[in-house]
Amino acid sequence: MFAVVSYNGNQYKLTPGQEALVDLLDEGKKNVEFNDVLLISDEKGIIVGQPTIAGASVKSEVIGEELGEKVRVFKFHAKKRYKRETGHRQHFTKIKVLEINKNDK
C-alpha cells in the first residue's frame, strides 16, 4: 500500500513504516497529518483523486530535522579574473509514516 501526497508544492510517495524527508515543517510539531492525498494504491486497486481524495489522510510523526546535500554554485567571467563560489544546504524534516487512511464509501 502506498499514497501520493502533495505538500508545499511537492509530491511525495509514502508507504506505512517508511522514513522520508519532506520540506521543513513548523518547529515543535510531534505529529503531522497530510490531507492533500492525490492517489492511494492497495491490494484492492488504485484510487485517484479529482484532484484530491475527499476524506483521505496520511498520519506521520516527526523524527527530527536534517540538512540536504550541498549544492555548489560557481560563476565566473572568462578573461576577467572574476570567480565566485557559494553553496547551499536545504533544511528538511524527517518523518515516519504511521498509517494511510482512506475514505471508504
Residue appearing with cell numbers 506505512: 16
pLDDT on residue 104: 60
Mean pLDDT score across all residues of the chain? 93
| pLDDT, position 103 | 78
Side by side, the strands of the sheet bearing 19-23 are 19-23, 82-101, 57-77, 31-34
Give residue 32's identity as a one-letter amino acid code. V
Q: Residue 26's pLDDT is what?
A: 84
Q: Specify the length of the chain in residues.
A: 105
What's the CA gap between 83 and 94, in Å, rounded?
A: 36
Below-70 pLDDT ranges, the chain:
104-105
**Where do the domains of the chain lie?**
2-63+94-101
